[in-house]
């Protein structure tokens, strides 16, 4: 079995996301457009990881940004990149991604 050695990144649980978003945090889905079309967390914006180089400069530095993907791996990677290479200090990874969101019984939007 392959073990991924992702660096620890600042993370947030599904229980904490709503309060942050209500407080002005930006929620970004970094999955691809076909995944977004299947289901997504309400209020999120699509920013595919594959296009990170196109959108990272547009992120606000004055508010919290929460990234999520399917399981939390891609968003952890993106969070790490934004912190280490782009020097953002306001980026969080949603632990467990949209799978954890759904396991918690929270609703998703579909097309």
Task: Give catalytic residues, as residue numbers.
Answer: 69
The span from the CA of 16 to the CA of 103, in Å, is: 15
Q: Assess contact for 99 and 70: CB atoms under 8 A.
A: yes
Which whole-number Å values give the CA distances from 12 to 16, 37, 45, 46, 89, in the listed order? 6, 24, 18, 19, 14
Q: Which structure tokens are listed for 72?
A: 């939390």
């Amino acid at each position: 079995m392959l073990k991924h050695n992702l660096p620890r990144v600042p993370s947030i649980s599904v229980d904490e996301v709503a309060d942050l978003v209500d407080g002005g945090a930006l929620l970004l889905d970094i999955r691809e457009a076909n995944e977004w079309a299947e289901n997504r967390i309400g209020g999120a914006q699509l920013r595919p990881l594959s296009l990170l180089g196109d959108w990272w400069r547009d992120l606000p530095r004055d508010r919290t940004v929460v990234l999520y993907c399917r399981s939390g791996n891609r968003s952890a990677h993106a969070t790490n990149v934004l912190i280490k290479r782009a020097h953002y200090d306001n980026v969080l990874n949603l632990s467990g991604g949209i799978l954890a969101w759904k396991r918690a019984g929270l609703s998703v939007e579909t097309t």
